[in-house]
Amino acid sequence: MTEMRMRDAIRDAMREEMLRDDRVFLMGEDIGAYGGSYACTRGLLDEFGPERVRDTPISESGIVGAGVGAALAGLVPMVEIMTINFSLVALDQIVNNASKLHYMTSGQVNVPLVLRMASGAGSQLGATHSHSLEGMFAHFPGLTVVCPAFPGDAKGLLKRAFREPNPVVFIEHTALYGVRGEVPEDPEHLVEFGEAAVLRSGKDVTLVGYSGSVHQCTRAADILAAEHGLAAEVIDLRTLRPLDMSTVIKSVQQTNRAVVVEDDWKFGGFAGEISAQIMELAFDWLDAPVARVAGKDVPMPYNRNLEYAALPSEEDVVEAVLGML
């Protein structure tokens, strides 16, 4: 085990996969000479050369389309979209081509494409550059949606993504690039998709999060334990699709209460999917309605205080828990 930052774990995953499989190559805006907008590809151009680390024009639809074509032709491309906000420009390629081709050809072709993108708000980037669209991608069958919260998981999940025969949307929270954590050195350490992690055990309430909101859950669990004597179980979903509901249900059967936390808007968000499934699968185990703690129903404000107010906080999670007792 080595302690490292999230961005370094991501870079190591790509580097190891490039060493392991020479079909793997990288494409994206500023990923080569500049080393990536979030420094995840630093040093890779020097090591692997411009054939395998390609700087591209600012044309997300074009890059993703090229990635789909390369994947169809037998390569294993990783396309970095600078932030998830720009993925909206490439939605047709992602939703209509990448996610559908395997199905529509009756399995004759595969699209082993890894799409990395940075997500989340909190840095005063305004309404158009602060999206959390994990739930939107999880909506589409045909896509695998990965959203790690810790460096070790990021490395294991990204390496696993390169071995997936069809498209994986790999979403990194901008606030987590600097988070440190233990990362296994074994180059064959993979984290399987559809396996949630139980970060804390507790009997009083289940807190469910993914990506950035996992950290709100663990901080809320600390407050609940220290100030209210409550033991919260914290679950990190790690992948939204496939979704590991059985870990969530097992937990709810112990705690009888659940709070689902996400940065995205509450209305029509992914937390609604989880809470609906809890209701469908564990109705007779519930002692309170499932609560959702999510972003306020507004485009993200630019003002620092308003942005903070629009995002869910650990205090909101604590309040939701206390409200269901």
Partner 1 sequence: MAFEVVMPQMGADMTEGTLVSWLKAPGDKVERGDIIAEIETDKATVELEVFEAGVLRKVIAQEGDVVPVGEVIALLGNADEEMPEVVPRQEMESSQVVEKPRPRAVTAPSADGTGSDLDARRVRVSPVARRIAQDAGIEITEVVGSGPDGRILRRDVEAFIAGSAQHSGVGVPTVEPDSPPPPNPSRVEPLSRMRTAIARNMIDAKQRQPHYYLTVDVDMTEAMAFRRHINLVLHEEQRVSVNDMLVKASAVALVSHSKFNASLTDDGIQYHEQVDINIGVALDEGLIAPALIDVAAKPLPQIAEESKGLVDRARAGRLRAEEYSSGTFTITNLGAYGIDVLVGIINAGQAAILGVGSITARPAVVDEDISVRQLMTLALSADHRVTDGAEGARFLKEIQSILENPSRLTV
Active-site amino acid positions: 60, 129
Name which of 56, 50, 47, 7 is nearest 27 in CA terms.
Answer: 56
Q: Look up tokens 């002692």; give the residue.
A: 287
Which of 79, 174, 93, 183 is closest to 134 using CA atoms?
A: 174
Ranges assigned E (strand) in the chain = 2-5, 24-28, 53-55, 76-81, 114-119, 144-146, 168-173, 180-183, 197-200, 205-209, 232-236, 239-241, 258-265, 291-295
Closest by CA position to 197, among listed 143, 245, 238: 238
What's the per-residue H, E or C state across 2-51? EEEEHHHHHHHHHHHHHHHCCCEEEEECCCCCCCCCCCCCCCHHHHHCCC
* Residue among 274 and 290 whose Cβ is closer to partner 1: 290
CB of residue 260 vs partner 1: minimum separation in angstroms?
A: 18
Closest approach of partner 1 to the CB of residue 81, in Å:
41
**83's tokens:** 């932030």
Q: Exposure string (b/e) for 102-121, b if CB count within 10 Å is 16 or more? A: beeeeeeebbbbbbbbbbbb
Work out the burial of residue 267: count CB atoms within 10 Å of its CB; fewer than 13 is exposed, 13-18 middle, 19 or more buried: exposed
The footprint of partner 1 on this chain (CB under 8 A) covers a number of residues equal to: 10
| Residue for token pair 């529509």 | 104
| Smallest separation, CB 325 to partner 1 (Å) | 7
Quick note: the x/- pattern for partner 1 over 279-318, rule CB under 8 A, is ----xxxxxx------------------------------
Which of positions 247-266 make contact with partner 1 (CB under 8 A)? 256
Name which of 78 and 278 has its Cβ closer to partner 1: 278
Residue 89 sits in the site that holds partner 1 (CB under 8 A): no
Nearer to partner 1, 199 or 288 (CB): 288
**Which among 113-121, 151-159, 183-191, 277-285 is the span making contact with partner 1, rule CB under 8 A?**
277-285
Report in angstroms how near the CB of residue 289 gets to partner 1 at its nearest: 9
**In whole angstroms, what is the distance from residue 102 CA to residue 23 CA?**
19
Shortest distance (Å) from residue 287 CB to partner 1 = 4
Among 225, 249, 281, 324, binds partner 1 (CB under 8 A): 324
Amino acid present at 288 = A
Closest to partner 1 by CB, 306 or 324: 324
Closer to partner 1 by Cβ: residue 33 or 322: 322
Q: How far is the CB of 56 from partner 1 (least distance, A)?
A: 51
Select the residue interacting with partner 1 from 19, 276, 298, 325 (CB under 8 A).
Answer: 325
Q: Which residues bind partner 1 (CB under 8 A)?
A: 256, 283-288, 323-325
